[in-house]
Amino acid sequence: MSLMNTQIHLVSRPVGEPRADNFAQVEVPVPALEDGQVLVRHQFLSLDPYMRGRMDDAKSYAEPHPLNTPMIGGTVGLVEQSRHPAFQVGDPVVGMGGWQTYSVVDAQKPGMLRKADPRLPLSAYLGAVGMPGVTAWYGLTQIMQPQEGQTVTVSAASGAVGGALGQLAKVRGCRVVGIAGGPDKCAYVKDELGFDECIDYKACPDLKALRSALKAACPKGIDAHFENVGGMILDAVMLRANAFSRIAVCGMIAGYNGEPLPMANPSLILVNRMRIEGFIVSEHMQLWPQALKELGGLVAQGQLKYRESIAEGLEKAPEAFMGLLKGRNFGKQLVRIC
């Protein structure tokens, strides 16, 4: 009897916000392994905002995700079967297995699968010691480059990327101000992650109010900013930005469902001689070992804290993803598959 694999396929392109009927659950047999291949049984699936852009049939930094195939996604799990000498049954591994229970991986291709350190929680490899952590590390060290004593701000501060960014900046002696949605998230950012301040954007009904909150939290202005959201938040940050400030643009979640994101004061880029740079962390794989070494060390020492929101069961992935885009998660959004 063949081993069966449960998958969640993207079956139609969302128009605006994704809906449940854009996805379908499918059962397919697991194929027999060929030489060099490894079968991984996934334990956790990572859900991330970038997935929304891949659902559209539009020009972007990556090709649209093909319909009627399992959605892309980072995974961690255990080797179930192996026909590759470097991987043994039971090894904890990290890969891009997608929205499915099992994945067959060609382990002969570089970067397709890597072993996890069993001393660290496996789920951490999808957050603080994975793509989100490396994203924060790259934006901070390669683009923002803050100096000790400078003021750093970050939007979506309670999320996996924002939370890591702020803690990495604190390690470097910066004053760190987060922007998050709701008093509970702001309390977590300050009390548990150790940020100096956190602004509740939901308590700021317009640009003027958010600018005033940033002025109070950043009396010396903003030297470096990490952007996950865009829209009014970015406009408010630019109004408080210092000369020669740097902004690393990781995401624009405020416009992921097609909402327009005009910039209110683009002239400030020139007035303040600002550096604004977008980046895709997968284009900088040569720096991942350096980033992962620091991130893994900080997690092991308890100096890099993180929080997870876990949906139970692969069938909950679409609902959890739609909630992620609305900010319903608290910390890194995962799906426990088994």
Both 150 and 275 in one domain: the answer is: yes
Contact in structure between 175 and 196 (CB atoms under 8 Å): yes
pLDDT value of residue 73: 96
Pair 121, 194 in one domain: no
240 and 146 in a common domain: yes
Same domain? For 143 and 265 the reply is yes
- Do 141 and 231 have their domain in common? yes
CA quadruple 145, 151, 154, 159: dihedral sign: positive
Residue 32 lies in a domain: yes
Q: At what angle do helices 232-240 and 207-217 cross, to 10 degrees?
A: 40
Domain count, the chain: 2
Residues 171 and 262 in one domain: yes
Position 58 scores a pLDDT of 83
Domain assignment of residue 325, given as a range: 4-126+306-336
Model pLDDT, residue 1: 54
Rounded CA separation 84/111 (Å): 14
pTM for the whole structure? 0.89
User: Does residue 89 share a domain with residue 221?
Assistant: no
* Mean pLDDT per 10-residue segment, the chain (338 residues): 91 95 97 96 96 89 92 97 97 97 94 90 95 97 98 96 98 98 97 98 97 98 97 97 98 84 94 97 94 95 94 98 93 94
Q: What is the CATH number of the domain that holds 100?
A: 3.90.180.10
Instruction: Examine the domain organization and report whether 262 and 205 are in the same domain.
Output: yes
In a domain, 291, yes or no: no
Residue 225 lies in a domain: yes
Q: Say what the pLDDT of residue 304 is.
A: 96
Q: Does residue 111 share a domain with residue 17?
A: yes
Residues 106 and 16 in one domain: yes
Would you state the pLDDT for residue 253? 87
